[in-house]
Structure 1
């Protein structure tokens, strides 16, 4: 008995595309079902991912990756100043997950707007010795003037927090005019900058910031910090928090009070888990709907093409060749719909992210998974119709009206 001729891959593709070429509208509608499913997958992953990226940026600005260490003044004897060792910031910077650290120190100096005010009638503001990297660590911005520079931090110049500027009556600095003067202790200092409000550090809003060297020279500052602000990797925040006391003050870790990671960190992690579960659920439903559409189209195609199936069987086509033909058609429909869905989903995500001014995020795993899912759906949707077509007896198929 002669063995049936095996179809080449090119011949199989041509046979599989017959139904698509001859029934273009139906094929387009069927592929549209898959494309909508894949586009939905891209959209429900891309748009929320863009939204999540924007949300993460906002939560990060609230301090989810920052810690604050303060010297516990309750442990001090009356009249004693509690402070950290001078090398505390350098020691903290050696912790692996720490990205940046800045320290400030309360100089215990009184602030007056004018020398005509009694020294007992101070403004009630803190005078803090500060480093030049404070704006970067606290995400602070200058509203008027400039922050301390390598040159100005050595001279009697100050930068005012937003609340301190309002209390002292210096809301803005006018370019070209002499800077206003304030009295720190018995020394005049020039105001060179005013900060915007800092959500991460309300204490800085109520402070007058002086350069570290200027505080040493003019205010009798001993160089020991009283607060540290630490920026670290979010994934290691709890670990960093645990080792900070021993790192800052090895001889007296109980002196160090470390703020817990912001509640926004828990909200951020919860949002990530919620978004991930939502993505999987919506994408699965979308693919299921598309697969049902392809399966329905293929079943109808088999019913309508029974005479073609019977003729091919009568001319010598094997059952395997019939199964391969209809299975190839089903996969081809799904792949075409998958490509169209990736394009539609990407365009929709780009447009919506641009409209909301969100960072654009196109999840490549979702696009690749969408195409892979389209192939799987095509195979599953085509198995039953292909098997049914191969089992049609030639006589029955040819006699179909």
Structure 2
């Protein structure tokens, strides 16, 4: 019987590798930006309809914001251009009320007194009458359409910036005879579209020849609904009392505030508190302020739409994580790190939002251009609005995709593969 081999204790010399450090684990390859974009793009291409609907939600929000900003900016630019053409140095004086509450009158010499102010460039006036205007003498008196008849000085267009659409303005000869110039709205309501000796309207119980039609005047809108006759013929034929009811004054640009301060006392020295002084350009500015308030409301609605789009992105990414558990588990089993999985899904969310943002910017620009062309404005879309739109979508996309990306990264590989 063979004797057992004696057992000998092994020494470090018998195991020279025992004290060596374990071999380092291979590092996971880093994803380059191009790889991240390619992986994220593949994830989007695998669900085209869902991606389209989510991107559409983002696009609607951005388009609303770009459209509101673009239309508001285009409107502001158009207003500035009009004010530059019409001038912001126009002031008006009208009679107020007396201390007893009765309607006050401006003196007949008010126009000449205002013209003596050194900083005044030009001055003109209108005088109100009780006459009614009709298309012909067979129309019932109660159907006057609310049109006013005013006596006008021959220098009115120079001061107010009124322009003629057709015909001519009142001159030294026609202002003494039954001749009338119609505002744009008045001419439209009366059905008068041309001028001439054969074109007449019934005004103050007598026929007046239409010698001119004014173009719309946004700075002095009262002219649009008026029938304007000469100062002299108004006194002789229409019972005009000679008191001016509105005085228009052009002052030097640098002296507007100073002229406005003394205009009431100059127009009515005896009762300066009975003269109301205003600046028509302020009314336009107030109108634009109202438009800005409405734009702010629409901008808020656009923000809500953008938030809804962000929720759609988050929903899409959460569902994507649930549907692609097996893919996530396989990638983890093949060595993908949590950071790479997180980067992949975050990249998908950012790409999805960027697509919606780019589409929204293009759609918003199209809306602005179309609306501006319809209004006759120059389309203006600020660069900051476009950059802000893209930036907002990336922020929304990052926030919406953060949780799904973290959830995908924390998914255990064994649990993910078990769902296949």
Shift of 1:40: 3.6
| 2:57 alignment partner, one of 4, 23, 33 | 33
Which residues of structure 1 form unaligned runs of 5+? 94-100, 107-123, 164-170, 176-190, 211-224
Cα distance per residue 1:226-259 (max 9 Å; x no partner): 97524699xx99x57743528968x999499343
Match for residue 196 of structure 2? Answer: 173
Question: Contact 1:52 / 1:272 at 8 angstroms: preserved in 2?
Answer: no
Shift of 1:11: 1.6
Shift of 1:330: 0.4
Alpha-carbon distance change, 203 to 318 in structure 1, aligned in 2, over 3 angstroms? closer
Alpha-carbon distance change, 57 to 396 in structure 1, aligned in 2, over 3 angstroms? same
CA distance in 2, matches of 1:242, 1:69: 9
| 2:31 alignment partner, one of 1, 7, 12 | 7
| 1:200 alignment partner, one of 204, 222, 225 | 222
Would you say 1:299 and 2:323 are equivalent positions? Answer: no
Would you say 1:260 and 2:278 are equivalent positions? Answer: yes
Shift of 1:360: 6.0
Question: Contact 1:130 / 1:209 at 8 angstroms: preserved in 2?
Answer: no
Question: Contact 2:372 / 2:378 at 8 angstroms: preserved in 1?
Answer: yes
CA distance in 2, matches of 1:245, 1:324: 71
| 1:375 alignment partner, one of 394, 400, 403 | 394
Match for residue 241 of structure 2? Answer: none
> Residue 332 of structure 2 aligns to a residue in which SS?
helix
Taking structure 1 as the reference length, the TM-score comes to 0.62
CA distance in 2, matches of 1:128, 1:43: 45
Match for residue 15 of structure 2? Answer: none
Question: Contact 1:310 / 1:395 at 8 angstroms: preserved in 2?
Answer: yes
Match for residue 155 of structure 2? Answer: 130
Alpha-carbon distance change, 346 to 232 in structure 1, aligned in 2, over 3 angstroms? farther
| 2:46 alignment partner, one of 10, 22, 37 | 22
Q: Please list, as runs of the form range in 1=range in 2, the aligned pairs for 1:1-400 lying within 5 A after superposition.
A: 1=24, 3-43=27-67, 66-69=90-93, 81-85=109-113, 88=116, 91-93=119-121, 101-103=122-124, 128=153, 130=155, 133-134=158-159, 137-141=160-164, 143-144=166-167, 146-147=168-169, 158=175, 160-162=179-181, 172-174=195-197, 193-196=211-214, 199-201=221-223, 205-208=227-230, 228-230=247-249, 242-245=260-263, 254=272, 257-261=275-279, 265=284, 268-269=287-288, 271-351=290-370, 357=375, 359=377, 361=379, 363-364=381-382, 365-400=384-419
CA distance in 2, matches of 1:349, 1:294: 26
Q: Mark the structure with the bigger radius of gyration.
A: 2
Shift of 1:45: 5.1
CA distance in 2, matches of 1:125, 1:298: 70
Question: Contact 1:157 / 1:192 at 8 angstroms: preserved in 2?
Answer: no
Shift of 1:15: 1.8
Taking structure 2 as the reference length, the TM-score comes to 0.59
Which residues of structure 2 form unaligned runs of 5+? 1-23, 97-103, 128-148, 183-193, 199-208, 233-243
Shift of 1:308: 1.9
How many aligned residue pairs are there?
A: 328
Question: Contact 2:67 / 2:367 at 8 angstroms: preserved in 1?
Answer: yes
Shift of 1:260: 3.1
> Residue 162 of structure 1 aligns to a residue in which SS?
strand
CA distance in 2, matches of 1:362, 1:125: 40
Shift of 1:208: 1.9
Shift of 1:102: 4.1
Alpha-carbon distance change, 229 to 284 in structure 1, aligned in 2, over 3 angstroms? same
Cα distance per residue 1:181-240 (max 9 Å; x no partner): xxxxxxxxxx99545498435998444279xxxxxxxxxxxxxx997524699xx99x57
CA distance in 2, matches of 1:393, 1:349: 50
Shift of 1:67: 2.8
Question: Contact 1:89 / 1:102 at 8 angstroms: preserved in 2?
Answer: no
CA distance in 1, matches of 2:225, 2:302: 47
